[in-house]
Chain A
Amino acid sequence: MFLINCPYCGERDQSEFSAGGEAHIVRPKQPTELSDDQWAEYLFMRKNIKGVQFERWNHSHGCRKWFNMVRDTSNDKIHAIYKMGEKPPIK
């Protein structure tokens, strides 16, 4: 349970938001040419990091816009929030 600073609406309770999972997973450009292993990697395999992780979130009970978040999953502290398409401010 924590507060999230939506880049469009400001600080709101986490319960207003939906988590969209790991960020920066690139959708395959040529789906027909993917092997089964590559499909499995794209669809199912996740880093599931204990520590700093890059994620997508959606303000589903607010502006309904998507954005990215850098969060430490070991203590739920948010390190950065940035809009879709922007480069992550932290490596």
Chain B
Amino acid sequence: MKNKYSIFSLIKNAFSYHEYWQRAWRDPEPKKEYDAIIIGGGGHGLATAFYLAKKHNMKNIAVVEKSWIGGGNTGRNTTIIRSNYLWDASAGLYDHALKIWESLSQELNYNVMFSQRGVMNLAHNLQDVRDLKRRTHANRLNGIDAVWLNTEQVKKFCPIINTSPNIRYPVLGGTLQKRAGTARHDAVAWGYARGADEMGVDIIQNCEVKGIKRKGDSVEGIETTKGFIKSKKIGVVAAGHSSVIAKMVDLKLPLESKPLQALVSEPVKPIIDTVVMSNAVHAYVSQSDKGELVIGAGTDAYVSYTQRGSHDVVEGTLKAILELYPIFSRMKMLRQWGGIVDICPDASPIISKTHIKGLYFNCGWGTGGFKATPGSGDLFAHTIANDEPHKLNADFNINRFVSGDLVDEHGAAAVAH
């Protein structure tokens, strides 16, 4: 049984200099067989295991991770959470996640520092204005909060933005989703890991999958660096490396893996209390609780698994940031990094069964998967447990690329996803 985290446990442990905190999750050796194996110990994979155990009563589950949990894109994103997507299918999917975010800290007994500070999306030309207004209307029809702000209202909401009409891409307005915001990315992985572990899920780190064993049309288990593990159900949540896993069963996915970069500045006093995104000039920024500006850059246009990314992409983003926020012109950037994102042609994810029995894929989240973590885990768990998709992820099946029934969020959500 895990000790409950509370103000009292904090005080109690303070008296012993925080030296006797209970271990948050075990470090088990893999068993011979599991009822389900999740490949990938990021937020989505851990959430999947958590909801399989919690809602579908499957306790004999393993999460295998080639490195340490939350060390991939879960720990590399800019932590933005929003659900103001254009199409009905996406609105359903992302708002399902947002609703879980709203009570996630309580559900996990782990502070994920979810902060509904609002996300503002800027418009810089007439087409942006039309697109964003249309999206606002579509959001409201789907029960998602959204308002249109004119230039003065943008300036009032975030006073440090340069709203001069004389800049290269002037701010003509923007949309605001007040329920949107940020969360602490590592805490999400750790909270789900702790919760899943408590229900008996084995989290096996430093265990790389080398092959998937098949028998006819179904799966039998996985070959790993820690030996063969048997299971009739395998859920793959490997983000940028999804195609690498798919190749083990000769499956081709409609994905391209590209480095996506982010960077943070030196910490400063609170200066921006919301998240501002701009698709047209590709710049988005928020401020962490430590005081660092968290800036999201773009993807490199070519396939690469290098987890670094090109300098010119960062340069382009910072140019746009400086025009929009001249106040940042003398700030120093502290760290820059890249994560490998798997992008679908329609910029929507795949949460789906495959033609191989017992093999499921949750991938293609591209540049915007973090916000969906709880919803993705919940729906993927449903899909694995019932061998059928939930109605909220039915549209995100892999066959949409054959039928042509795409969920095209590329134009709607644009690059800053």
Do A46 and B310 touch across chains, with their CB atoms under 8 A apart? Answer: no
* In the assembled complex, B241 has its CB within 8 A of some CB on chain A: yes
Do A15 and B244 touch across chains, with their CB atoms under 8 A apart? Answer: no
| A1-B312, A48-B243, A50-B243 as given contacts; A18 in contact with B252, CB under 8 Å | no
Residues of B within 8 A of A74 (CB): 305-306
Give a binary string over B252-286; 1 marks a CB under 8 Å from any A CB, 0 the rest. Answer: 11111100000000000000000000000000000
* In the assembled complex, A26 has its CB within 8 A of some CB on chain B: no
* In the assembled complex, B402 has its CB within 8 A of some CB on chain A: yes
Write the nearest CB–CB distance from B332 to chain A, whole angstroms.
21
* In the assembled complex, A30 has its CB within 8 A of some CB on chain B: no
Do B254 and A44 touch across chains, with their CB atoms under 8 A apart? Answer: yes
| Residue on A nearest B346 in the bound complex, by CB | A44
* In the assembled complex, A86 has its CB within 8 A of some CB on chain B: no
Please report the C-alpha to C-alpha distance between residue A1 and residue B311 in the assembled complex, in whole angstroms.
Answer: 7
| A1-B310, A15-B312 as given contacts; A46 in contact with B302, CB under 8 Å | no
Task: Specify which of A1, A15, A37, A53 is in contact with B303 (CB 8 Å cutoff).
Answer: A53
| Residue on B nearest A13 in the bound complex, by CB | B312
Q: Which of A48-75 contact B (CB under 8 A)?
A: 48-50, 53, 55, 73-75
Residues of A within 8 A of B303 (CB): 19, 21, 48-49, 53, 55, 73
Residues of A within 8 A of B342 (CB): 48
Residues of A within 8 A of B241 (CB): 50
Task: Specify which of B244, B254, B305 is in contact with A46 (CB 8 Å cutoff).
Answer: B254
Which has the most chain A C-beta neighbours within 10 Å: B304, B403, B404?
Answer: B304
Write the nearest CB–CB distance from B248 to chain A, whole angstroms.
12
Residues of B within 8 A of A45 (CB): 252-254, 401
Residues of B within 8 A of A1 (CB): 308-312
Give the dominant DSSP class at A's interface: mixed
Do B255 and A73 touch across chains, with their CB atoms under 8 A apart? Answer: no
Do A50 and B253 touch across chains, with their CB atoms under 8 A apart? Answer: no
Write the nearest CB–CB distance from B342 to chain A, whole angstroms.
8
Please report the C-alpha to C-alpha distance between residue A48 and residue B402 in the assembled complex, in whole angstroms.
Answer: 19
* In the assembled complex, B301 has its CB within 8 A of some CB on chain A: yes
Do A19 and B310 touch across chains, with their CB atoms under 8 A apart? Answer: no
Please report the C-alpha to C-alpha distance between residue A39 and residue B406 in the assembled complex, in whole angstroms.
Answer: 14
Do A73 and B304 touch across chains, with their CB atoms under 8 A apart? Answer: yes
* In the assembled complex, A14 has its CB within 8 A of some CB on chain B: yes
Please report the C-alpha to C-alpha distance between residue A44 and residue B253 in the assembled complex, in whole angstroms.
Answer: 8
Residues of B within 8 A of A48 (CB): 243, 253, 255-257, 303, 342
* In the assembled complex, B200 has its CB within 8 A of some CB on chain A: no
* In the assembled complex, B291 has its CB within 8 A of some CB on chain A: no
Please report the C-alpha to C-alpha distance between residue A14 and residue B257 in the assembled complex, in whole angstroms.
Answer: 18
Q: Which of B78-131 contact A (CB under 8 A)?
A: none
Residues of A within 8 A of B170 (CB): none
Please report the C-alpha to C-alpha distance between residue A6 and residue B287 in the assembled complex, in whole angstroms.
Answer: 42
| A15-B312, A74-B306 as given contacts; A46 in contact with B402, CB under 8 Å | no
Do A55 and B256 touch across chains, with their CB atoms under 8 A apart? Answer: no
* In the assembled complex, A27 has its CB within 8 A of some CB on chain B: no
| A48-B243, A50-B244 as given contacts; A55 in contact with B252, CB under 8 Å | no
Write the nearest CB–CB distance from B252 to chain A, whole angstroms.
4
Residues of B within 8 A of A55 (CB): 302-303
Do B306 and A41 touch across chains, with their CB atoms under 8 A apart? Answer: no
Residues of B within 8 A of A90 (CB): none
Write the nearest CB–CB distance from B242 to chain A, whole angstroms.
8
9 inter-chain pairs at a CB distance below 8 angstroms, sorted by A residue, are A1-B308, A1-B310, A14-B310, A40-B254, A45-B401, A48-B342, A50-B257, A73-B306, A74-B305
Chain A residues in the interface with B (C-beta under 8 A): 1, 13-15, 18-19, 21, 36-37, 39-41, 43-50, 53, 55, 73-76
Chain B residues in the interface with A (C-beta under 8 A): 241, 243-244, 247, 252-257, 301-306, 308-312, 342, 345, 401-404
Given contacts A44-B345, A73-B303, 17 further A-B contacts (CB under 8 A): A13-B312, A19-B302, A21-B303, A43-B345, A45-B401, A46-B243, A46-B255, A47-B243, A48-B243, A48-B342, A49-B303, A50-B241, A50-B243, A53-B303, A55-B303, A73-B306, A75-B306
A-B interface, 8 closest residue pairs, ranked by CB to CB distance from nearest:
A19-B302, A48-B243, A44-B254, A1-B310, A45-B252, A15-B312, A40-B402, A44-B401
